[in-house]
Amino acid sequence: MKIDKICLTDFRNIETLQLEPDAGVNIIYGDNAQGKTNLMEAVWLFTGAKSFRGAKENELIRFGKERCALEISFTGSGRENTAQMVFGQQKKLLLNELPLKSSGELSGKFCCVVFSPVHLALVKDGPAARRRFLDTCICQMLPSYLQALSEYSRVLSQRSCLLRDSREHAALLDTLEIWDMHLVQYGAYILSVRKRFVGKLQHHAAEIYSGLAGNTEKLSLQLASTIDGTEEDDRKLLEQRFMEKLHQNRAEDLRLGTTGVGIHRDDVDILIDGKHARSYGSQGQQRSCVLALKLAESGILQEKMGENPIILLDDVMSELDHHRRDFLLNYLGDRQVWMTCCDPQYFFSLKNGKTMRMEHGRLIGA
């Protein structure tokens, strides 16, 4: 998969931009706050996911303007495609000139993997960041998973409301079993998919991390869930165990007015030589963990989609030593890669590709 052309109008600090990127490596360099990450963010939005910076749609529009427009031409699934997005008072989404109801319909059509310094939260922050990483990865490969997540969230919210309201209206508890049944059905499906995905992620990430670390350290991943089970367990067994947990925890749920067990409590343990990277990993080790996870995601997407996703690496080289930078450049191989940096000297050995400077939202040398 590769982008053939991208056009942006009034996006963030970018007034107008047109770029026909190289099919291989594209280096965008320049000082901070010039718009390098804005360009990466624009590309990422076409996956159908939300901004990796957590921005709201109205924050994507250039200051003083009422709308912004994004358009790409890309090659994927053996054909040429186009996609357009307009954000403003009226949101507009098109794929191959056909209107879409939501950004989620782009999921699986345009695939890429992004690394940004904000993704260090995968190691540094709490479980929510790691669940979000799993869910974003899986949604690119399995669009139906997004619907299951949405339904689980809806049922979970309804169940929590019922738990709180039942303190004054005890008759509401008669319907709790129905909500439990729906929660279990969606939750068991999500859990089974997550377990399989983490198993694949472990296989790829361990190999990549070993290369980054010069074969001196071992990375391992474990899905930590309030629902007992293994990767091989079928959904019926997971449903049974989830229901048992809900029954065991019901008194506590009623006391607190919230649901204490379920896939909304899942976490991923990231371990280096058996120790938690969050607590014991150095800055370089933590960054290498996130890179390994992101590149592992790329490998899984390639297996699923039959073609390499686009790789977006935002300010990835600054804290990597020479060995890790060389491994990374060699590993990326035949993918289309977009990299940002302040110092282009990191890429002095790069013989092919395109190098551009970003200044005040404008690309020089494109």
Lowest mean pLDDT among 116-130, 234-248, 277-291, 312-326: 312-326
Lowest mean pLDDT among 177-181, 233-237, 275-279, 356-360: 233-237
Q: How far apart are CA 246 and CA 242, in angstroms?
A: 6
Chain-centre distance for alpha carbon 239: 27
Q: How far apart are CA 313 and CA 341, in angstroms?
A: 9
Q: What domains sit in the chain, N to C, each tagged with a CATH number?
A: 1-111+309-366 (3.40.50.300), 120-306 (1.20.1050.90)
318 HSE (CA, 13 A, CB side):
14
List the one residue out of 24, 53, 26 whose CA is nearest residue 357. 26
Burial class of residue 345 in the structure, from the number of CB atoms within 10 Å of its CB (0-12 exposed, 13-18 middle, 19+ buried): exposed
Q: Give the pLDDT of residue 190.
A: 96
Q: Give the pLDDT of residue 347.
A: 66
Task: Supply the pTM of this predicted model.
Answer: 0.83
Q: How far apart are CA 331 and CA 309, in angstroms?
A: 14
Mean pLDDT within 88-117: 90
The fraction of the chain above a pLDDT of 90, given in percent, is 65
Query: Which element (helix H / strand E) includes 163?
Result: helix 143-165
Q: Which amino acid is at 12?
A: R
DSSP 61: B
What CA–CA distances, in Å, run from 39 to 12, 132, 204, 206, 302? 9, 22, 28, 30, 24
Whether residue 366 is predicted with pLDDT greater than 70 in this model: the reply is no
pLDDT band with cut points at 50, 70 and 90 for residue 209:
very high
Better-scored residue on pLDDT, 142 or 244: 244
What distance separates the 2 farthest-apart alpha carbons in the chain?
72
Q: Give the pLDDT of residue 281.
A: 87
